[in-house]
Amino acid sequence: MSKEVVKIGVLGCGTVGTQVVRLLGERGRDLAARAGAPLEIVGICVSNLQAERDEAVDRSLLTTDANSVIDEADLVIELIGGIEPPRTLVRRALSAGKTVVTGNKALLAAHGPELYELAAEKCANLYYEAAVAGAVPVVYGLRESLLGDRINKVTGIVNGTTNYMLEQMDTAGRSYDEALAKAQELGFAEADPTADVDGFDAAAKCAILASLAFHTRVSLQDVPATGIRSITEQDSADAAFFDEKIKLVAVAERVQTEDGEALSLGVYPAVVPQSSALANINGAFNAVVVEAEAAGTLMFTGQGAGGVQTASAVLSDVVAGASHIAHGGSAPRENSYANLPILPASEGCHRYRLRVNVPDELGTLAELAQIFADEGVSISAVHQSANEDKVSVVLSTHKVAQKAIAKIRERLEATGVHVASVLVLEA
């Protein structure tokens, strides 16, 4: 073991930061043995020095001066969250050649390329296993284990809040509002759940996964996101009728176009067969399915959130980073050589399921079918149920571009037909 101590600075000491500090204290000897050098926390930056803290946090290490923590450390752990001040602080650390470990998905999705370039320029290391799927080692899997393979598709349930809510709607018959209230009561959802329920959190993770899997720079703005606000108990009942479940999925896929290969990206509610692996990911668990040419289909699953689970991912990066500081070497560099074009959302092709509410009148179904036919969309299945003077009709399509579905929806609404929901059918 190197006699040189690796000095660690921690920025942020909330739920995850507290667990990181606690585990570094409790497992310090083991972690040092794995890293090949002693590990020492030299400072912990917090916003409030007077706040109550876990007894594992040494108050003598607390400060509000983030810059002093960065300057004294060899390795900086950023767990503040959000874009600023983390972006400025991470840039300061990388510019000084420090190793940085972050779990900040929003920062990487918005400014990843800028930070990757800075790290390469300054010969600094940037680790971010904790940014996607908590304790699930999918970043490592894509960044290193599958580096010799060609990946064709990545599909993930990467937001535990919405996964829990959809499970409640499916198994307990709760409405969207009831499921959200329950998730907030249990601490799965924030008081402002926008990032989760509108799909933005999943989109940020999708951008990171796509960048790694396809060696192409993907930002949050490249990932169209549709959340779960419009999902109702009726949608869950319809899915159950077809022996399926609704999941909010993040998908990044290599597709062939007339001009060559491109990436199709998106976050959206999808109906998956009960027999599929993703259908059985419940509660706040996450799962990522990777389809590779040589390795075949691989699935990474586990706790997608939680202080100690996310701390596990942070510490794996800390050990790797500390080892490189003590003995040389570097983290894998960003690889964007493929530079694949990103398909516009309207060009993405899927199978769809539309639920419409129409009057219970003779010829209505034929009129619906004609609109689909006019737009060149083939219907694969129809299911209807009557409710007083209205009929709920569920129509499933064969694979078609999103713009065709948008056109059908526009035409249906123009004729007075209410389109209650549009879901993607995942094979």
18 is in an annotated binding site: yes
Residues 6+ apart with CB under 8 A from 145: none
349 is in an annotated binding site: no
414 and 363 Cβ atoms separated by less than 8 Å: no
13 is in an annotated binding site: yes
| 245 catalytic per annotation | no
CB atoms within 10 A of CB 95: 14
Catalytic residue among 7, 98, 205, 247: 205
9 is in an annotated binding site: no
40 is in an annotated binding site: no
Closest CA to 153 of 225, 304, 256, 273: 256
12 is in an annotated binding site: yes
190 is in an annotated binding site: yes
227 is in an annotated binding site: no
| HEC profile of the chain | CCCCCEEEEEECCCHHHHHHHHHHHHCHHHHHHHHCCCEEEEEEECCCCCCCCCCCCCHHHEECCHHHHHHHCCEEEECCCCCCCHHHHHHHHHHCCCEEEECCHHHHHHHHHHHHHHHHHCCCCEECHHHCCCCCCHHHHHHHHCCCCCEEEEEEECCHHHHHHHHHHHHCCCCHHHHHHHHHHCCCCCCCCHHHHCCHHHHHHHHHHHHHHHCCCCCHHHCCECCCCCCCHHHHHHHHHCCEEEEEEEEEEEEEECCEEEEEEEEEEEEEECCCCHHHCCCCEEEEEEEECCCEEEEEEEECCCHHHHHHHHHHHHHHHHHHHHHCCCCCCCCCCCCCCECCHHHCEEEEEEEEEEECCCCHHHHHHHHHHHCCCCEEEEEEEEECCEEEEEEEECCEEHHHHHHHHHHHHHCCCEEEEEEEECC
Binding site residue list for NADPH = 105
Which residue numbers are catalytic?
205
Q: Which residues sit in the known binding site for L-homoserine?
A: 190
Q: Which residues are annotated as a binding site?
A: 11-18, 105, 190
Annotated binding site for NADP(+): 11-18
